[in-house]
Amino acid sequence: MQALKGIAASNGIAIGKLKLCVKLDDKIAKKPITDVEAEIKRVESAKEEAEAALNRIYLDALKRVGEENSMIFQIHIMMLQDDDFFDAIKDCISDEKVNAEYAVWQAAQQFSTMFAQMDDEYMRARSADVVDISKRLLSCLDPNLDSGLDSLKEEAIVAASDLMPSETVQMDKSKVLAFVTEQGSKSSHSAILARTMSIPAVVGLCDAFSSLKDGAMTIVDGSAGDVIIEPDEATLKEYEQKRDAFLQHQKDLQLLKGTKAVTKSGVEMEINANIGHPSDVEMVLENDADGIGLFRSEFLYMESDDFPTEEQQFEAYKTVLEGMKGKRVIIRTLDLGADKQVPYLNIPKEENPAMGYRAIRISLDRKELFVTQLRALVRASAFGKLAIMFPMITSVEQVKEIKELLNQVKADLKAEGVAFAPDFEIGIMIETPASVILSDLLAKEVDFFSVGTNDLTQYTLAVDRMNPQISSMYDPRHPAVLRMIQMAAENAKKAGIWIGICGESAGDTELTRFYVDIGINELSVTPGTVLELRRTVQQLD
């Protein structure tokens, strides 16, 4: 028996045989060729096939893991269309007279290294994405180079040097018991996807990964970060009991449907769900969320080749509002830019896109785009309990400008005889240090705050959570981040408005008591986390 320690990435316990995925480096051979043109045509055909496959994966991911987690595949499609990358592949084929597979892998290593060494944090995060799209190309060139994870023949614990997002999202949950990786962090794309899909996972085994054996009986404890190879009888029995207890716990959570998240001392917390597509409403209702605390509207722009019309947006918002049957739905206006790009926006390349032309900055700069969305939202308010939320706010002036536009939209619709709810709420995301510091003034302008802890943590600590060199410094529990949240909560209470949390740490049960204590009124999480969080609140004294 051998016990290994990694990073706990996704809760749950799995017991089964290990499927060890061979590194591509060991499978790609360098072969001489004579027909350069034919080999280049193979690459071009593979590119078309890979692009079509990524589009299918993206649409499937929207339904399975939501809009935010599926955005990575839109980035991959754009990277796949990069001329420099394909010029490097063609040059390698022409200059060295080698096979397409070898040329793709060489270009992948070259570009991945180049991205990894860049100063800009966003660009460094693209290093793993280059490897992912290259794997996709290779599987199109030669099916034998496919990871095979989407067509496992029997249940297994999957072990790989690293799992790319496209590999993770395509996993057959009925076959994949768990996964372990040599690389990765708790905040990597694959780890986040594993949690969304409820697959136990341990990542970042590092040197201990070499101890794994294909076909070996293995235990994975995704809650503790433990991987046990060839367990003895006593250990096996112990973990079988733990697994059964975990599964029973999941069943017990179902009994909480229809109840409220109220502490033993009578403090009630609203538990809502984050979604990114109208199709996610089914999951929200299935998990008995109190409402939708964050509906990301970007999917309308990411799924289209051009700006979505007012009517297209109206129908999407109306569908969700009607589907929630009177429960509140908070819709965030478009938050494009940074890592969510659409070609037709024509956003110039930026040195630091995370702090650049994005979100409300685009909306207020391109008012015709913003007004179209506001008209669709206000019209939809007649079909349910709507609240509108604005992202990336850094000043009171921005909020006043938004309200002026919103009032003009209401006046125009009234003049046109279009029905809408007169009293829907408006709020802002607290996700920048500026919005926290100004929260006493901002609270006078809106009906609610919603703290986006992902960006607030990133901006407060100056840490890119996708940068593996410093990802350990990305800490939503950092005292500075918690003080920021507390300051916003105090100012919200003074102004008589409510405040919620919609970032990933809303589901961190280690922080639930803190949120209750400082007066947070609402937590919005992935649909699958709603019942666990409700249970946590109910158990608080």
- Measure the CA–CA gap between 74 and 140, rounded to whole angstroms: 19
502 is catalytic: yes
For residue 34 the two structure tokens come to 């004579």
Torsion of CA 287, 291, 293, 296, to 10 degrees: 80
Query: 2: left (phi > 0), else alpha (psi -120 to 50), else beta?
Result: beta
- At 382, list the tokens: 């007649």
Helices (H), 345-385: 360-365, 367-380
Among 92, 189, 277, 478, the active-site one is: 189
Question: Any idea of the CA torsion for 499, 502, 503, 505, to the nearest 10 degrees?
Answer: 70
Residues 155 and 177: beta-carbon distance below 8 Å: yes
Residue 151 burial by CB count (10 A; 0-12/13-18/19+): exposed, middle or buried?
exposed
Backbone angles phi, psi at 464, to 5 degrees: -85, 115
294 phi-psi bin (left φ>0, alpha ψ -120 to 50, beta other): beta
Q: Give Cα 39 to chain centroid, integer Å.
A: 37
Q: Half-sphere exposure (CA, 13 Å, Cβ side) for 282? A: 5
What distance in Å separates the CA atoms of residue 404 and residue 284, rounded to the nearest whole number?
A: 33
CA distance 85 to 104: 9
Pairing of strands 226-229, 217-221: antiparallel
Residue 118, phi then psi, degrees to nearest 5: -75, 155
Contact 200, 14 (CB under 8 A): yes
Q: How many angstroms from the chain centroid is the CA of residue 263? A: 30
Q: In what order do the strands lie in the sheet with 226-229?
A: 2-5, 226-229, 217-221, 13-20, 156-160, 176-181, 201-203, 7-10
Q: Name the amino acid, one letter, at 427.
A: G
Q: Supply the DSSP string of 449-502, one letter for each residue.
A: EEE-HHHHHHHHHT--TT-TTTGGG--TT-HHHHHHHHHHHHHHHHHT-EEEE-
What's the CA gap between 330 and 499, in Å, rounded? Answer: 13
Distance from C-alpha of 40 to C-alpha of 89, rounded to nearest angstrom: 8
CA atoms of 442 and 495, how far apart (whole Å) = 9
| Residue that has been written with the tokens 């193979």 in this structure | 42
- Let me know the angle formed at the C-alpha of 316 by 311 and 322, rounded to the nearest 5 degrees: 115
Q: Which of the following is catalytic: 21, 92, 140, 502?
A: 502
Active site residues: 189, 502
